[in-house]
Amino acid sequence: MGLSSDAAGVDVRIVGAGTTLGGRWVVDGVDATPPAGALTGLLGPNGAGKTTLLRLVAGLLNPEAGAVLVDDSPVHALARRERARRIAFVEQESASTVPLTVREVVALGRIPFRSLWGADDDEDAVPRALRSAGAEHLADRAWSTLSGGERQRVHVARALAQQPSLLLLDEPTNHLDISAQLSLLAFVRDLRITSVAALHDLNLAAAFCEHVLVLSAGRLVAAGHPSEVLTADLVRDVYGVESDVLTHPRTGRPVIAFHEPAPDPDPTSKEPS
Amino acid sequence: MPSLRTDATTRWALATSVVLALGLSACSSDATAGSPSATSGSSASSSAGSSSGAFTPVTLDNCGTTVKVTAPPRRVVTIKSTATEMMLALGLQDRLVGTAFSDGPVPDEWAAAAQDVPVLSAQVPGQEALLGVEPDFVYGGWESNFSADGAGDRTGLAKLGIGTYVSPAACKEPEFKPDPLTFDDVYDEVGEVGSIFGVPDAATTVIDGMKASLATATKPAQRTTALWYSSGTDTPYVGAGIGSPQMIMDAAGLTNIFASVHDTWTSAGWEQIVADDPDVIVLVDATWNTAADKIKLLESNAATRELTAVKNKRYLTLPFASTEAGVRNAEAVVSLDQQLADLEK
Amino acid sequence: MTRETTTEPRPTGATQPARAARRVPLATLVVVGLVLLVATVLVTVAIGPAGLSPGEVARSIGGHLGFDVAPVPRLHDAIVWELRLPRVLTAAAVGAGLALAGAVMQSLTRNPLADPYLLGLSSGASLGAVAVLVVGVSLLLPVAAFAGALLALVATLALARTGRTLTPSRAVLAGLAVSQLCAALTSLVIFWTATGDSYREILSWLLGSLAGSTWQSVAIAGVAVLVVGAIVLTQGVRLDAFAFGDTAAAALGIDVDRTRWVLMTLVALLTGAMVAVSGAIGFVGLVLPHAVVALTGPAHRRLLPVAALAGAIFLVWADTLARTVFDPRELPVGIVTAIVGVPVFAVLLRRRQGASWG
């Protein structure tokens, strides 16, 4: 797709990374190696530390313990602009009151490449990113008139304009219809750059991710291919929900069929999730 | 984002409160003619110890409030120099129990008489301070002196048995405001005050004295244009067409360059003044803005220092208290003509 | 891929859409703006209560610039060169500075209602100015106003920071607190000590007035605008990055905290200089950025210079109105900017009704 010269993506290693918030370790000693050039899913219940871990990988937070290495250099030691040319981060919710057009939003992704006077030596980067993200038809629309799904697509286009070797997405499928969710993840997977996406939908992770990392209370409790990792036991331990794991008839990937929670005599005694 | 009340709102609230302050406790230009003062102008009529008999009950309309006096007041508080000096000119210093908001020192001829009168406040006194001296009458130079946060409003004081009187030249309501202010209005005030205190002869003496004084004023031979510069730096505050500055300048034979503005005083721009290039500049000398300050400003401003009057130092100075409607206005007129004559020498 | 849109899909893959001239090129806007500004200055300097002919005005200026012209009467020359021209030029500089400061504040705080005085600057300046006006040392006014603005800024920043971080909402709230405090102290000073006509001067200053403009004011305001403006322009790309919030900006490689500190301080210095020269003129910083964004788009590299030029032109005309409409009386220009600014703002608000304001 001509997005970056090293389309295979970078080598990312998370080594014992951890950080605190208000005295509590919200990410605690995580060791992980998302495979290069593939989509890795980051799973776990709310509050497990997914967003924080993503921010550590993005270099937006400095780890208090351990390190995140990108191509063997610590991410937070990189100069900011350099980091922004390699790593793109798509937030969960990103609103703006500025009257931007879609083209202008995507052009923001070129900021790490622009000189002081705004010159960008790659004139084609923005149209290319729009095309790749399938948002070309939205180019002249006003940002404020887009639907949730359209906005998400434009955010991805903006990330692509950064020509990243590492793409980080925080719950990118939140506001999307089924079909849009499926297309987005398929698209990211097919980019073949190293990507890590925090997902709350286990089945989506099972269907599209090469690798999944499961967090619970800040710790990494499982890592590996979805068919190995996503078992009924894991689902019970981490999410506190009973399930049956089936096999998808076409793809062979796991499909998790959840059970209704049993009526609980004492509702306050649930496992913390 | 919290809903934002910006600094703009704060500034407008502040500006509004200043406007209210202007309305309530300061002189507002449109309504009153600066602070009308009631000081006697001529030395010939300094009437200490004048007759105190011949009192008849008085009912008069004063700025829309009816003033009924059945016996001459004995314990009087005056606010503003014009009121104080009116009392001294009429020889009524024995009845003064307090003065406030003086605009300048009392003229020498009455200095001894005024010496023992207590000063209640440098500004408008609060109601408690006022009542503390147990007055039976309050004579104010500005209508705004009688406000809730000042001496108290007139109806309220009346209920306490305290009569009030405002210098008529300072009435704010258009139907009571003199338009234009003339010496007859000033004489009327002297007469009214004389009748309130039962000293009509003293009043007549003062009035005659002022008239005689005016008659001695020698107007300049040729047309002399003048600027009446009261205060202000970036935007000068000047005497306009219908107040005491105009009255005094007319009597002195000076042509006010702002005579066409239908107001007592007005804010003007330096450009108009520079364009008109007045022959003389009348400087009002007040403690908060002295004549010397004004001269310094005129000489440092790159445009005004080119004025003929500034280059040749053709300044006529008057003390603030003599410029508001009152017993010193005739003295002011004579002073202007005298200073003008001195300049010509 | 599925399309999730209601507009018709455009053909993809073929030639990429030509870089449509949707927006007027920046160079054109700047040149037109400069031409309009120069024209405005020349026209307004010939307007005034003194009724001078345009020929006289031209000769007066020409004479000072070294051209060989017929002499002009001394006083008329003084009116043009010492009163009108400094005033018009100061108005231009202050208008430009306020518009620039307003645009930057709106971006930094991500609040479209922000204005240059947000960080307590105008209240602090007012306090300094009023204290000096009341004491009677009005020649020290610009210094006192500037000092007041800076002290208020220091107080605001100290209150707003948590460690090294300076979030926009905290800055705004801290600015509000400092403003209220300064406003209260200013009221105290006024009610306690103001006598006679100092009310008039105080009110005029609080509303904003260009009446006392001298060549010194031109120098102060002009230098402030040019220096700060040039620096801020280089930060244009960084300001763009703030559009989607701090995280997005950081992810784009911006040092969010340092950029915000630097820019807020620059805005404060600029605003302090403006306020020192002309009092707190309102609505220019608030309205002008919104007025030009439809023409320039939100990219700061384009928005800032055009907003500055528009601000200059606007304030020169507003001040001309203020000094001539009630001839020979003068209004403080802050009244005119408010009277004009509020309806313009209302119109802009309605036009953006469709677009969300967040």
User: What CATH code is carried by the domain that includes residue C327?
Assistant: 1.10.3470.10
- More confident call, A70 vs C23: A70
Query: What is the nearest CA distance from B109 to chain C, expressed in angstroms?
Result: 26
Chain A contact for C243 (CB, 8 A cutoff): yes
B107 plus B174 within the same structural domain: yes
Report the residue of B18, B30, B149, B298 to disrupt the C interface, i.e. the one with the largest count of C CBs within 10 Å.
B18
Averaged pLDDT for residues A176-188: 88
User: Is residue C339 in some structural domain?
Assistant: yes
- Residue C7 binned pLDDT confidence (cut-offs 50, 70, 90): very low
Strands A166-170 and B119-121: unpaired
Position B35 in a domain: no
Q: Do C355 and A144 touch (CB under 8 A)?
A: yes
- Regarding whether B163 and B113 lie in a shared domain, the answer is yes
pLDDT of A105 over the 90 cut:
yes
pLDDT at A97 over 50: yes
Domain span at B71: 43-215
How close, in Å, is residue B120 to chain C by CA atoms?
A: 16
Determine the Cα–Cα distance for residues A142 and B162; give it in Å rounded to an integer: 73
Q: Let me know whether B210 and B240 are in one domain.
A: no
C88 located within any domain: yes
Would you state the structure tokens that stand for residue C208, as one six-digit string? 């904003």
Do C12 and A138 lie within an 8 Å CB cutoff?
A: no
- The domain boundary, picked from B215, B242, B258, lies at B215
Report the alpha-carbon angle C60-C61-C63, nearest 5. Answer: 65
Last residue of a domain, one of B215, B241, B266: B215
Give a yes or no: residue C66 inside a domain: yes
Q: Within a domain: residue B14?
A: no
Chain B residue whose CA is closest to C342: B8
Please indicate if any CB of chain B lies within 8 Å of the CB of C197: yes
User: In terms of pLDDT, which residue wins out, C165 or A185?
Assistant: A185
Q: Give a yes or no: residue C17 inside a domain.
A: no
Tell me the shortest Cα–Cα distance from B254 to chain C, in angstroms: 20
The Cα–Cα gap between C196 and A139 comes to: 64
Confirm whether the ipTM is greater than 0.90. no
Specify whether B60 is located in the same domain as B173. Answer: yes
Question: Is there a single domain that holds both residue B52 and residue B189?
Answer: yes
Taking each helix axis from N to C end, the angle separating C141-160 and C121-135, rounded to the nearest 10 degrees, works out to 140
Residues 6+ apart with CB under 8 A from B92: B76, B197, B199
CB B234 within 8 A of CB B268: no
Residue C43 included in any domain = no
Last residue of a domain, one of B195, B215, B235: B215
Q: Do residues B225 and B203 both lie within one domain?
A: no
CA C81/CA A200 separation, integer angstroms: 72
Higher local confidence (pLDDT), C187 or C251: C251
Cα A70 from Cα A57, distance rounded (Å): 9
d(CA B157, CA B161): 7
Evaluate whether residue B28 is within a structural domain.
no
CB of B36 within 8 A of CB of B326? yes
pLDDT of residue C6: 41
In a domain, C27, yes or no: no
> Do B211 and B316 lie in a common domain?
no
Greater confidence, C234 or B150? C234
Alpha-carbon torsion (A53, A58, A61, A65), positive or negative: positive
Does one domain contain both B146 and B221?
no
Q: Which domain holds residue C95?
A: 52-348
Q: A8 falls in which pLDDT band (50, 70, 90)? A: low
Q: Taking CB atoms and an 8 Å limit, are B14 and C329 in contact across chains? A: no
C327-346 residues touching B, CB cutoff 8 A: 327-330, 338
* Res. C58: pLDDT tops 80: yes
Angle value at C-alpha B83, between B80 and B89, nearest 5 degrees: 135
Residue C40 token pair: 């405005």
**Percent of chain C scoring above 90 in pLDDT:** 37
* In the block, residue with structure tokens 């967090």: A215
Residue B197 lies in a domain: yes
Distance from the Cα of C227 to chain B's closest Cα (Å) equals: 25
Residue A77 has pLDDT above 50, yes or no: yes
B172 and B54 within one domain: yes
Confidence of residue C40 (pLDDT cuts 50, 70, 90): very high
Per CB-CB distance under 8 Å, the chain C contacts of A144 are 354-356
How crowded is the C-beta side of B108, counted as CA atoms within 13 Å?
1
Residue of chain C whose Cα is closest to the Cα of B306: C75
Contact between C82 and B268 using a beta-carbon 8 Å cutoff: no
Predicted confidence at residue B98, as pLDDT, reads 92
**Residue B282 falls inside a structural domain:** yes
Domain identity same for B123 and B177: yes
Query: pLDDT digits over A156-179, tens only?
Result: 999 999 999 999 999 998 878 898
Is C313 in CB contact (< 8 Å) with chain B?
A: no
Residues B114 and B229 in one domain: no
Question: Residue B105 falls within a domain, yes or no?
Answer: yes
**B329 shares a domain with B230:** yes
Tokens of B169: 């030249």
Count of domains for chain B? 2
Sign of CA dihedral B23, B295, C193, B162: negative
Q: Which of A7-16, A130-139, A260-269, B71-80 has the lowest mean pLDDT?
A: A260-269
**Per-window interface: B 271-300 vs C, CB < 8 A:** 271-272, 274-275, 277, 286, 288-289, 293, 300
Cα separation, A208 vs A212, in Å, equals: 10
Angle, CA A32 vertex, CA A29 and CA A34 arms, to 5°: 150
Give the CATH number of the domain where residue B325 resides: 3.40.50.1980
Domains in chain A with CATH codes:
12-269 (3.40.50.300)
Q: How far apart are CA A188 and CA A155, in angstroms?
A: 13
Mean pLDDT by 10 residues, chain B (345 residues): 47 64 45 32 38 76 91 93 93 92 87 87 83 91 84 88 92 87 94 93 94 92 94 89 95 95 90 93 88 92 92 95 93 94 87
Domain count, chain C: 1
Q: Is this model's pTM higher than 0.90 or not?
A: no
